Structure 1
Amino acid sequence: MSLSPFFRSPFTDITACLISHQTFGKCQKEEMRYMDCLEVYGLERGRVKCERLFADFHECQTNTLQFKRFMAMRAERDRQIAEGKLKGDEKFVTPRIDSF
């Protein structure tokens, strides 16, 4: 993980927003919390102390837990279809709006 360039110039300052989520990203708050924590503890201690904030930021970027939950729901639906619990139109019924 690289936090700052080796050589700093006006060009690196101008293009720094391209590799962060501060301009248009959905993970702005998580990134700022993590960067603030790193600023307080420094890079070496911050990697240990700010591990949970980094995990939240990483989840926001990658959505791995959301995808695992989706795959588990799909597997359960496929299992119910294979067992015959869901038949016909019940196979394709969407969840209720407040079920999330």
Structure 2
Amino acid sequence: MRVVALGSKVFVTSFQMAGVEGISVDSPMDALSKINALVGKSNEVGLILVSDDIAAGIRKELTEIRAKNPIPIIFELPAPGSKKVQINYRALLKQILGI
């Protein structure tokens, strides 16, 4: 299975240097269309890494995709220069499970 990084040019380039495939996007909606295309190839892609600055604009849609598709895993990572943010994973899991 492939790992794909989505985000700004700097975010993607840093993962490409480590051998991870990357797709540079300019907006959250552009990222959402790329993610939907990758989810359609769920047998190929096992993990999608999305920069948090891009994911912030489509967080609700990402949660819906996560709830419907256990694979690929969609994981948000801090973008270069972003501030540390606390994420309540318990609340996120409850939202995904519909509890």
TM-score, length basis structure 2: 0.25
Q: Which has the higher helix share?
A: 1
Higher strand share: 2
More relative contact order in 1 or in 2 (CA 8 Å, sep 6+)? 2
TM-score between both structures, scaled by the size of structure 1: 0.25
Which has the higher Rg, Structure 1 or Structure 2? 1
